[in-house]
Amino acid sequence: MSAIAAKAGADAGAFQPVPSIIALVLAIIVIAVGFVLGVGQTLCLIVLGAALIAFGVHFVPVGGAPAAMGQAPGIATGVPMLAAGAGLAGLFGGAWAAELGLAVALAGGAIGGALMMAITCLMVNMSYVFGMGIPPASGKIEKDPLTGYTQPEFKSQGTEGHGLPFISYVGGVIGGLLGGLGGTLIYLELLAFYEAVMPAADAVGLAGILAVAMFLVIAVLAAYNITGTIEGPHDPKFKRFPRAIIAAILASGLCGLLALLLVALV
């Protein structure tokens, strides 16, 4: 069916059971191959990390080009880039703390991503409020569920809202937290696997570049699911996240398997 023939008004973000089941079956096959080749446990943790990233991206309030003109709430840049920026900042912190143990490194990665988003989101609001005299307002909800602030009267005429209401700010921090956590988990699993077969310096480099690559794959997949802009956890588009997680499981299963086979079969 062509795009023109598609049913008008169909919800592009609706959960589609058949493709989802096909994706899950394919993912199970890929993971089963991983177990047969003896890399199953590491692969499962990589897939878990990717699922965390895909879920986390949906929390990040991204307004894209309309946000740059104060026409829509969110941060004025692209979904995958912002999520990747936060996730990689988390990966930086997690990799730094890798020698302190899994729990500290994971927490360090999560906090690194959340810190990046907390500062970025604050500066976005500073820019709107003190640079342009515009108060934050959501276009998707009547009332902020966290602060109880009503939104419509603070939305300027002819726009969908602007800035980051507190719920979007918190969403950004949670998104950074999950992104940093997932990215660090992927990195640590790859690192432990590579360190067993190659010098530590090479293992760090290979694990780092593949973790970054996998992060970008998952962030871009999630961005396709979001289609453009999202305000955060209160946005109706947030409900699309199961689809992104399923896609992330399949994509990361395949990417992870290839990343592990790089050294497993050598």
Using alpha carbons only, what angle is made at residue 254 by residues 243 and 103, rounded to the nearest 5 degrees? 80
- Identity of the residue, 165 or 232, whose beta carbon is nearer to other proteins in the bound complex: 165
- Identity of the residue, 13 or 78, whose beta carbon is nearer to other proteins in the bound complex: 78
- Identity of the residue, 82 or 190, whose beta carbon is nearer to other proteins in the bound complex: 82
Asked if 102 contacts 234 with a C-beta cutoff of 8 angstroms, the reply is no
- Identity of the residue, 50 or 164, whose beta carbon is nearer to other proteins in the bound complex: 164
Rounded Cα gap, residues 52 and 105, in angstroms: 16
- Identity of the residue, 23 or 95, whose beta carbon is nearer to other proteins in the bound complex: 95
Contacts of 22 (CB under 8 A, 6+ apart): none
Which of these, 189, 200, 162, 163, lies nearest to 260 by C-alpha position? Answer: 189
Question: Least distance from C-beta 172 to other proteins, angstroms?
Answer: 10
Question: Least distance from C-beta 217 to other proteins, angstroms?
Answer: 14
Is the torsion defined by CA of 245, 250, 253, 256 positive or negative?
negative
Question: Least distance from C-beta 80 to other proteins, angstroms?
Answer: 9
Question: Least distance from C-beta 73 to other proteins, angstroms?
Answer: 9
For 31, 204, 258, 264, the CA distances from 198, given in Å and listed in that order, are 24, 10, 17, 11
**Coil, helix or strand for 62?**
strand
Question: Least distance from C-beta 159 to other proteins, angstroms?
Answer: 4
Rounded Cα gap, residues 202 and 128, in angstroms: 45
